[in-house]
Amino acid sequence: MCTYQTEVLKVRASGKTPTGWESMTDATVYVDHPIHFPAGHALMIDFLNPSLGASARVGVEMDERSARELAHSILKALDEAPAGVLES
C-alpha cells in the first residue's frame, strides 16, 4: 500500500554522489516500496539538489526500527552538543 504521504523540506547539507560531494538543497521523507532494501515497505530519505540534475541525489531506505533509532540518535547528538558548536 502506497501512502503518498511525503514530507518535503529545504536543507543545507552535502552528500556524496557518484560524481563526488555535492551540495544538497532539498530532502524528502516518505514510506513506500523500496527499490533496493529487501522489504515490502521502508522509510525512504532522499537528499537532492534539483538544480544539479538526477545524479545529485543521495537516497537511503531503512526499516522502521532503524529509522526510529536514527531519529532518536540525531536528536540526542544535537541535544548533547556543546553550546554554540552548531551555530552557523
Residue-wise pLDDT for 31-87, tens only, equals 999 999 999 999 999 999 999 999 999 999 999 999 999 999 999 999 999 998 987
What separation, in Å, do the N-terminal and C-terminal C-alpha atoms of the chain show?
A: 41
Q: How far apart are CA 59 and CA 17, in angstroms?
A: 10
Q: How far apart are CA 80 and CA 69, in angstroms?
A: 16
- For residue 36, give the nearest of 26, 25, 46 by alpha carbon: 46
Are 14 and 22 spatial neighbours (Cβ–Cβ below 8 Å)? yes
Q: How far apart are CA 72 and CA 41, in angstroms?
A: 21
Single pTM value for the model: 0.86
Are 3 and 32 spatial neighbours (Cβ–Cβ below 8 Å)? yes
Residue-wise pLDDT for 10-39, tens only, equals 999 999 999 999 999 999 999 999 999 999
> In the Cβ-directed half-sphere of 45, how many Cα atoms lie within 13 Å?
12
